[in-house]
Amino acid sequence: MGNNRGSLPFHQLSKDEGALRVLVPLPVDEALWIAWTVKPGFSVCGLADANMAVRITPVSLSRQHGSLLAADALHGPDGPRALDANSLTVARTRRALSRDHLQFKVLSEKKKLVGRIGIVVATPALYARLSGLPPPSPSTPSDAYGGWRLF
């Protein structure tokens, strides 16, 4: 398996009208962030365990083409906390799949709910057992972009 470029796979747990639940593997020593591409005027809000708000920041804004947003941390009482195994409860067994570790809502310009996604964070071993796919290879310093910029 080659460099993973930092992307995490996901396994769909369920899908209903306007709602999706997915399982993502999270190695112990790594953190994750979630990118959102939304239509102009749309927004995203998120909560983690214990109703802790997820920080969502704009990466790129465009009134004509939409925005790229990043869910990259939790708003903790002592400041931002990474989305990692220290701040999220990582599922180790099938029983732990009953609740979402991260919940997001996508809202229209008029603040109407247009979609929801629930994310269950799991150990790579549990992810592999449930998805039937190998877990992602661990990230290494060589996976970084090394000065290259995305265009």
CATH code for the domain of 73: 2.60.40
Give, for all 151 residues of the chain, the pLDDT tens digit.
344 456 788 999 999 988 999 999 998 888 999 999 999 999 999 999 878 999 999 998 887 888 999 999 999 888 999 999 999 999 999 999 999 999 999 999 999 999 999 999 999 999 999 999 998 887 777 766 555 555 5
Residue 102, classed as helix, strand or coil, is strand
User: Which residues are within 8 A (CB) of 25 and not within 5 positions of it... i.e. 6 or more apart?
Assistant: 8, 9, 122, 123, 124, 126, 127, 128, 135, 136
Amino acid at the residue 66: G
In this structure, is residue 6 part of a structural domain? no
* Residue 26 neighbours by CB distance under 10 Å: 24
Residue 54, classed as helix, strand or coil, is strand
In this structure, is residue 62 part of a structural domain? yes
Q: How many domains does the chain have?
A: 1
Structure tokens at 39: 């239509």
In this structure, is residue 140 part of a structural domain? no
Decide: pTM greater than 0.85.
Answer: yes
Owning domain of residue 51: 11-132
In this structure, is residue 69 part of a structural domain? yes
